[in-house]
Structures are given as structure tokens and as C-alpha cells.
A = this chain, B = another copy of it.
Amino acid sequence: MRILVLGGDGYLGWPTALHLSARGHEVAIADSFVRRNYDFEMGTESLVPIRSLRQRVRTWELASGLHIETFVGDLTEAEFVYSVIGDFAPETIVHFAEQRSAPYSMIDRHHAVYTQTNNVVGTLNLIYAIAELDRSIHLVKLGTMGEYGIPNIDIEEGFIEITHKGRTDVLPYPKQAGSFYHLSKVHDSHNIMFCCKIWGLRATDLNQGVVYGTITDEVALDEALINRFDYDEVFGTVLNRYCVEAAVGMPLTVYGKGGQTRGFLDLRDTVRCIEIAVLNPAGRGEFRVFNQFTEQFTVLQLAEMVQAAGRELGLEVRVEHIPDPRVEAEEHYYNAKHSKLIELGLKPHLLSDSLLDSLMNIALRYRDRIDASKMMPQVNWRNARNARRPGASAEVAASGPQLTAVGANEERTK
């Protein structure tokens, strides 16, 4: 199958492109390298050193004999989108090409507006190009479990049957996103659902949980294929950050009480989920949603698992509760369905098995590259403007005057 991977130079896009190429598909990557630019802006860096996309695809070609075509450009430029789709003529488009950090979107007005326009306009250009060039293309779009928020009822996969005053309908699951980034994905979902209806497009929205890990079979083939691994407060996901903190002897930074429950999955399951969605396309006019995660944990449970794993490696690991920079319930009900991908054949990797293998040892191997000043949160949801100063301590940001000024984390807006 001809598959175009948008954002194919990124944390999830790159291993996905390799995985699909290894499975015999004709793969092309489009990327603007804006993710690499965010690192320059934030003063951050992948824990593991990554090569240029050009070096990556050359290495892949030498290692596997398989060619990956590349296109350099930005989805917010419609001409680029139309020309790539026209040139490569994909049957499936996997769309990772969005700004994907919640803290980045919450820095200030500029970053909020950037995140929403970048993500929404890029996706609008994409669905218009599909509508105008080839309505049979299957769009596989990365959403997020964060679109649902934390309702006090079970989370279904995209839609929920509601019986109300004696009548019943199946409606889009209500959305309560918790950052301007997560909201951008909510906006995308509504836009794409509408286009499936009016233009008969076919789309799969993968509401993904928090991904951990950095290794897949393919990126492990050669050091020049290695994938990025982010641990900083802005782009690092929680488990990656914990492992790095453990590796340098810092306390694990649990936000608030740590009862925040989320869905998680191994990077190796991400690439497999994408493959499953690609091989089992949505029908014409169908907008379907899969919840893409394998296990639920609280962020405190994760910290305790990292603590235990550290002990096995002879590391002394402390857990520290710091003020939650986000506005979110720190203890709550959470039960999200995630059976559609399992039914289509996903065999999950469990965290308990992979924690030592693919996480702790990566953090230890690259320990010398860890910048310990990057872990403490400097973006506080309660501030409309956050100054991210090099070397500013977490205490400054987290105990600022506005931290408790507005609302408490247990409050819910109705």
C-alpha cells in the first residue's frame, strides 16, 4: 500500500514510517522539521542524539534495501499539501504532523494561537486536498485520549448511546479537553467527522494515550536510526521523565497527589496500532474512533513502578509531590474502553515487562546527556503568560502568586 506519513521525522512518525516500510508498504514522509525547531526555542534536546532525516532514510535504505521518499514542507501551506498528495498519490495518509505538547500550548497567548492554528489549519488543508484530489484516501489521524477529559462515567470509543427523556441516539462522546493542545485535537475531530459526512471521506481518529519508550525493532537496527526521547517538562511524557530523573538521582516529580489516571502504551504498540488501522480501513463516509492505549495507571503508580525498577538496578529513587502546574482533578474516576484495536489483533506490550528493558536502560546509557534543569515545570496553567527562563527553579514557577488565585484542582466547571 502507498502510505504517506505526515510528521514522519517525529517521535511517533519516524518509527511508524520504518515499521510500515519494513512491512512492505511504499512509504513517503512529509515533515517541516518544526519539532526540531521547538528544541532550539525551548533550549531542550532529545536524550538520545538523533540524525537528520536525510541520514536516517539513507541508513534505512542501506540497512533494509527499502526506499522512503521524503517531502519537506508545512501542512499550513496548502500548495505543499496538494502537491505532495498529487505527486505521491497515497492510498492512506497517517497524520502525526501537529504541535503535540500540552505545556507548549499553555506558555502564553502566542503559543496557544500557534498550536490551534497550526493544527486546525494543517488538518483543514489536508482534508480539503483529499476531498479535491482523491476521496478514496483513508485518513488515519492521531487524536488523544485527552479529548475526553475525565468524566465521571466510562469513556467509550468516540461515540456514546444516550437515552434521554424516552428517546435514544448515538452521539459523539462529550469533550472536556484540558489544554489548548488537547482542544486543538477536539476541533480537528469535529472538522473531520463533518467532512466524512458531507464528502464521503473515510477517516480513523486514533485517540491515543500517553506513549512511553523509544525503541522499536526497526529503530534498533542501527544507531543512525535511533528515535528521539524527550524528558523535559514541555515535550517529555511523564514516564520518560521519571526514568531520566531516576537515572540522575533526582526525585521523581509527581504533580500534586498523583491520582491523575490516564491511558498509556508502549511505542511498539503505537506503530502496531497504526498498522492495524491502515490495514483495516474505514468505509466511505465513515468516521470511526479507536481509543489507542493498553493500560491505565495513575501517575503516582508509575512513579512507584520506576522506584521499584530503580531499586533492582541499585538506584535509590525518591518520589516527591510538587504542586500540580495543570488545572486538573488529582483524584478521580477513570475507566476508558479500548477494545477495538485489540479486536483487530493488537497484542499489547505491558509496562511491567518493558520498563527495565526499553526505558531505564536508555536513561542510564545516555545519563551524561541529561540536563537536570529541564525537568521541573515552568508552565503553570493558571497563568495566561508564563516566562520560561533558563535555569528558573520549579519552585518559582509553581508557587507564583497566581498558583492558588483561581479555583482549586478539585473544582469542576459546569
Contact = CB atoms under 8 A, between A and B. Distances in A.
B153 A165 contact: yes
Interface string A109-144: 100110011001100110010011001000000000
B131 A121 contact: no
A334 to B, nearest CB: 11
Contacts of A163: 153
Interface string A134-175: 010000000000000001111000011011110111111111
A285 interface: yes
A196 interface: yes
Nearest to A151: B169
A16 B151 CA distance: 37
Interface in A169-185: 169-180, 183
B200 A406 contact: yes
A186 B183 CA distance: 11
Interface stretch (A215-223, A226-234, A313-321, A381-389): A381-389
Contacts of A198: 327, 381-382, 406-407
Interface stretch (A90-98, A187-195, A236-244, A250-258): A187-195
A171 B190 CA distance: 17
A413 B189 CA distance: 13
A179 B195 CA distance: 9
A7 to B, nearest CB: 20
A165 B125 CA distance: 39
A413 B196 contact: yes
A116 B109 contact: no
A103 B106 CA distance: 33
A311 interface: no
A134 to B, nearest CB: 12
Nearest to A191: B183
Given A165-B153, A168-B153, A121 B117 contact: yes
The 3 lowest CB-CB distance pairs between A and B, nearest first, are A152-B169, A200-B406, A171-B174
Interface of A: 78, 109, 112-113, 116-117, 120-121, 124-125, 128, 131-132, 135, 151-154, 159-160, 162-165, 167-180, 183, 186-187, 190-191, 193-194, 196-200, 285-287, 327, 333, 381-382, 384-385, 405-407, 411-414
18 contacts: A112-B124, A113-B121, A116-B187, A120-B120, A132-B384, A153-B162, A153-B163, A160-B162, A160-B164, A162-B164, A170-B414, A171-B176, A172-B174, A180-B194, A183-B187, A183-B194, A198-B407, A285-B413
Given A159-B414, A171-B174, A200-B406, 8 more contacts: A109-B125, A113-B124, A116-B121, A117-B117, A173-B174, A198-B382, A200-B407, A287-B413
